[in-house]
Chain A
Amino acid sequence: MAQINLEIVTPDRKVLSQPVDYVGAPGIEGEFGIMANHVPFLSALGVGNLYYKENGKYFYVFVAGGFAEVSNNKVTVLAEVAEKAAEIDVERARRSQERAEERMRQQKEKLDFARAQAALQRSMARMRCRSSAESAGTCAL
């Protein structure tokens, strides 16, 4: 099966670079899937889980604040944050979720509420990423 190269980079490191069979990414206007020889495509990404299929297995990566570009049979993802499922600190995500929920209960102000909401979204996506990877059996590095 034809493959497509997937590369994920953040300002701090290169997270991933390898050929894969399929990429699913959380576009800002909904999820999209990319397979080999896709037409050139550029999209902003929301907060959520990117996944790719390789050797019949699904792997999960949490991304936030990013862009995906598809050209020349290559998917380049630029994200401010990108963590593979195995790298996610579940404990931290859980704490951050609790904190965010607490703040949402207390805060009436719009700005803080929005911030807490964003934090909540991130922590929940992280945990979702981890659990998806665990059920797919691809959580180990």
Chain B
Amino acid sequence: MPSLKDVKVKINGVKKTKQITKAMNMVASAKLRNAQNRIERFRPYAEKFYEMLGDLAAGADPSVHPLLETREEVKTVGILVATSDRGLCGSFNTNINQAARKLAEEKKAEGKAVKLYCVGKKGRDFFRRRGYDIALAFGDKMNSFDFSLANQLGLEVIGAYMRGELDEVHLVFGEFISVARQVPRTLGILPMQGSAEKGDDSGNKAEYIYEPSVEGLLAELLPRFIKVQIYRGLLDTSCSEHAARMASMDNATRNCDDMIGALTLQYNKARQAAITKELMDIVGGAEALKG
């Protein structure tokens, strides 16, 4: 039976932990709101972009561009993993890392080499510990990034792809479905699946004047599309991270409450036992004096 003082110390400790988890929960919810706003702001750009690309791809032969062409022999696979920089967000990072590792192992089993591009410390550390070939890693970026990060990553993978160092590129990120649900998602970004995201043709507008040619425009648009996809993955990951942290901190706070309840009960029991014992001693002493 722990002494009264021990229990008291423990209760205070748990209370302090609770303060921290509660504060983290609130910080995460504020950051989540921020991240959601960014997705909202990104949406008009993305939608317009898909529309433009759809219009163009409808009127052009997509096989002309090297980014669209599926290579017959795939030797090296690039995997872009977007995770968070910090932990304490439940199984969020683990899930993404496992999904990426599974993909990497599958590709390796097929006899292909795997190169990793990691954003976020958690993914980088995970794969570094396991001795994977990491081509590029960014840490401490997830807290504040803008399109230039996606731009940099995009240029990197497109460059490697065009040089033939990569024959396939996949993106693994935490898709944000709702505040309560985030799942790891794997997306093949290179070679591009032709007209996968085609806008509906109902708008059948008048003929456009293209400058430069349709092919020239596609050559400009396609690399950007890769960056748009990467940016979306990054935004989703950061949103998911904060949502996951919110949920896990909420859980932690509740667990703290439970622990405090149990410990207080224990404390009261111990206190009562001590009082009873003291009374017994006094009564016993008085009896002895009488005799």
Contacts and interface: CB of A to CB of B under 8 A. Distances in A.
A12 B211 contact: no
Contacts of B48: 9, 69, 76, 78
Interface residues of A, number: 24
Interface string A19-41: 00000000111001000000111
Contact of B217 (A10, A11, A42, A80): A42
A65 B46 CA distance: 15
B278 to A, nearest CB: 69
Interface string B181-223: 0000000000000000000000001111111100011001100
B117 interface: no
Contacts, number: 77
B52 A78 contact: yes
Contacts of A32: 211
Interface string A60-94: 00000101010100001010110000000000000
B224 A65 contact: yes
Contacts of A28: 211-212, 216, 220
Contact of B45 (A10, A29, A71, A81): A10
A108 interface: no
Contacts of A95: none
Contacts of A3: none
A74 to B, nearest CB: 11
Nearest to A45: B220
A12 B208 contact: no
B257 interface: no
Given A11-B228, A69-B52, 5 more contacts: A10-B147, A14-B41, A28-B212, A40-B208, A44-B211
Interface of A: 9-14, 27-29, 32, 39-44, 65, 67, 69, 71, 76, 78, 80-81
Interface of B: 38, 41-42, 44-46, 48-49, 52, 55-56, 146-147, 150-151, 205-212, 216-217, 220-221, 224, 227-228, 231
28 contacts: A9-B48, A10-B147, A11-B46, A11-B146, A11-B150, A12-B38, A12-B41, A12-B42, A13-B41, A14-B44, A28-B211, A28-B212, A29-B212, A39-B206, A39-B209, A40-B206, A41-B209, A41-B211, A42-B55, A42-B56, A42-B208, A42-B209, A42-B211, A43-B212, A67-B52, A67-B217, A69-B48, A81-B147
